[in-house]
Structures are given as C-alpha cells and as structure tokens.
Structure 1
C-alpha cells in the first residue's frame, strides 16, 4: 500500500517483472478491505498515508486475524516510526531495487509459470521518464490508464527513470527528451514524445500490433 500512485505503480511493475503477483491499494482503509477479502504471502506498506499509518493498518489487520502466515514490510523515509515493534522496516531509497531485494529475501524467487501459462507479448514499449517531473508523472498515469484497457499479457511495458542513471538502451533508442515512449517491437521502432495527454497514437500502435482489448 502506498499513497504515491506513480511510486506504487513502479514498485508493482518491478515486483511483477521479478515474477510476483501484485495487488495494490492506495491507503489504509482500502488495504484493510483487501486483507479482509484475500490472503497474501506478503504485505508491503508505506508508513505515512493520508488516512493513517501503515503500522496502524497492520495492527488492525493482525488483531482481526488477517495476517496469519503473512510477512509484513514497512518502508518509510521518516526518521521516527511509531508502533513498529515486531515489524520489518526498510528505509526508502532511490529506485525499487532495495525493496525487490528484500521481498526476494523474505519470499524467495517465485517459481516460473507453467509453459502453457506463458504468453507471447505482441508489443514491447519502453517509457523513459525523468524522476518526478510533472510531464513524466502525467505520461506514466496516461499509460497506466490506457494499458488497463488491453490484455496485459500481450504487452511488454517497461519504465526507465533516467534520473537514476542512463542505461545503454537509452542510447540505443536515441533518447534526447523525456518523457518519451518507444515502441521497440514490432519494427519499425516508433517514438512518441511528450506527456501522452492524447493517447490516440499509442492506442493505434497497440491495435496495429494485434493487442486485444479487454471486454
């Protein structure tokens, strides 16, 4: 659970790429409702959220018997975490790698899906962003909203934040401005520059690549 929508989405994508199934919530009340309906192997919560703290939520869940057999992890940028006795605390750091590493340490590497469950992505998209710039955040929100209309297994979508470093793929894709969305496959390679306020072109790329829309 995290009230930062962009940060929540990036962490969720990183965990999915590591092989985990992810369910996300934007606050403590929504998180508690999810825990009442479903059991999870791990709950990751931000400490400070608009409607309470992660520690409050986890204590409420534990007292209701909703966390039996469930690992819990609090991540925070705060120097003081109240009521955190017995909870694993991870300081917020740049990027998602420390949290993914902690999840792998707690749960181990998830088994690969059975061959019949694997799906071949029909399009590969990379969104290059620049930290928390307004344009980058808008582009990420627009992509999230658009991709929710399509079958996720048919889309290989990756977000690369150039504020965390410039990978070789950025040079291969000739990235000069951010945000920029690149269709890496199928060829020909296509670039869409800007905050993606109008996603018509991206929708056309998805449709022309044969990505199926959700019913």
Structure 2
C-alpha cells in the first residue's frame, strides 16, 4: 500500500476507458497505472501494491474474476471494483460474494466512481490504524451475503437498489411479507456512503399507538405518565445513517402529519421538549400493503405517500424466482448446520425437487423456517424427499382442511372461518404472531386482538 498518495491499477482492453479512468483518478490526487489485459495486470499485481484495482469483467486474454481471485489471494486489503456490461450484471453481483468491493455498469458513472474511491480511502485509513475496526464497506456487506440467488428478477431488483444506494434519496420498498424487505433495506445502507453510520429499524406495526411517537422522536422526563426518564428516539439514534420504517402502512393516521414534517425538514422535538433537533438521515420505508390503494381509501395520507415514494423499489416473491431455491436451500444448510454445530447436511436431488413443487406463499421467511425445522430434526442424515414429506405434509393437511379433514361447510359463520384460518396460520408459523400477521396481510396488533377475541391460548402464540 502507498504510504502517502493512494495507488490505483486500471485494467481494461479499451484504451479510451483506460485513459478516461486514468485522468479521473489523477485529478483526484491518486497515483494511477494501467494494464491492457489480465496477463499484464497479474504481472503488475505480483510486483507492486495497490489500494484499488479497477478491472473490466471481460477481456480477450481472461476476465475480471481472475484479477479478483489473484488480488484476494495475494493482497486481501486491496479493494477491487469490476466494470461490467449490462448483460453480465449477474456475474458481477456474484463476484461481490467472492470479495469484490463493488461494480459499475458501463458506460462508467464518474460520480459513482468518485464515491466508491472515497469509500476505499476510508477503509484504507482504518486498516492502517491498529485500533480501528474493519468497516462494513471493506468487506462484502452482510446483507449482500444474505440475499441469495441469481434469477433475473432478483438481480434486477438488486441493481436498482444499488443505483438507489448511490443517491441520498429516500426509498419506498413494497413487497410481499417474507420476501426480504429489511434485507434489501440493509443492502441499500451497506452499499451507500452511510455504511459506517447507524442502521436503525423500527417496526411500525409492533409498537402500540400510544407509544410510537415516543419511539420515533423520544421524550423528556415527565413528558407523560410513566415517563420516568429521558428517552432517545429512533430518529435521533439514526443520525448520520439510515432509518428503516418497517410496515409504514401501519403508521396511525393522526401521526402521519408529524412524520411528514420530519421527512421534509429533518427536524423534530422530543415529547415534552421545546428544543428542535436536526438530523441527517436517509429514510427507507417498507410495506406489504399497497400504499396507493390505501391513499385512495383515505387510510394513508397522499402527501406522505408522495414524500416517501421518491425511489420506489420492489422485491419479487419467491414463486417468481424459483430457480433460486437450490441456492437458498444450500445457504440455509450452511447457516443452520453451523448453528447446530454439525457438518453441513447433504441435500439430495429428491429434496430439491420436492421443495420446487411448492409455491412458498410465505416467501423466503417461510422457506427459511421450514429449512430450520428440517435441518434441526434430521441431523447427520442426507436430507431427502422423505424428510420433506415428514416435516411438510402435516402442515399442508392442517392448512387445507378442518380438524375433521373436511373443507369448511357452506354457511359456516365468518367468525368461525376467521378463527380457523388464524389458528392454521399460527400452526404454520410455529406460533410466531409477527410472521402470522405478515402472512395474513394484517397488523400485529390485529393478530393480538383476534387471539384475545377468540380466546386462543396466549402462551401457545408468543
């Protein structure tokens, strides 16, 4: 590594791109070298140290993955940015899981490149300080490692999210329950220049109405009955970073004007305080309910919707990216095998075929819960179709019939059907009320109220 000025190696067979990138880095005060292909780049990497290597993905004598693998093996502290044409974005995303710092789609955006270069410099400075902890940007982001798959629908969502991350704009993520909205929000944070700042999440559906204002904005001692001390709100905790407003559609209507003011001005007061606090934060809101339809019904303010919907994003449900199931299954096998402190289970082709025959209406969350159950109860064996049948079919039977094995009879009271459906969903989620609420498309408080209304045993559904 250079002790004074940062050092970059630019690898591309296109002389025009090499010259443009070289000039861009020289203007930023970097020392820059270029290579016209993979072989020349590998010779330079073998003899010199670089803070950053920028490599084209496809060249006549090799590809950027060779450059990446060599750098990761010989100089793990060197950041690698890959340049890719639109058609090879999937390969670039996969390369990030192997340690690439980031990637750019041609034609190159110099604004994005400048932002990435600044992040590289920050990580270099922390690596040179013995007491510094590694930054999120210095390695593959955790959220990136947890978003598994290479289907076109998923890669398109990730590419749009990565483009959004390079801006400072607020983001609205609309997707089905269990599709991975929070993971996408963390991905945006990790890929942004706020990666080393706080990521704070608040579930708007899980906080009681009378406490959500205090949860968001904080309060002073004595602000209301029970306020025995000062509380710092989520907006203040997220200062400098990202605030995730999960299930924003559950925000009480009477609080939406105050939230709108904070989003517009980035300022607020704690409950019981007259001092105005200013924050620098990015807002990412998520919902499994169509906010546009809620606006039409009058249950969500139109001005707040337009303020949140600066960059709209969506995530495909699992049924639209079924080709990702084998990779997801292996991901969970590695993860839960480590949690259970056992060797990674072997997934038989019959098991992979069996999981592909189900649409997974609860999306990745449902599939992950199912994999946890299978891998926890069938340790030390090859996971095959018999394991699938043993752990999945009983749930299917409970889900599709009443206790007598019959479909609901016409004329059954709506309340009885509602109770039956709620009980089956709670069975399917292992009693998890939060997951049940997401699968049913209602708020957590609605599930709580229905459990109480129907007299379901509360301890069974904690």
Higher RCO (Cα < 8 Å, 6 or more apart)? 1
- State the TM-score, normalized to the length of structure 2: 0.22
- Per residue, is there more helix in 1 or in 2? 2
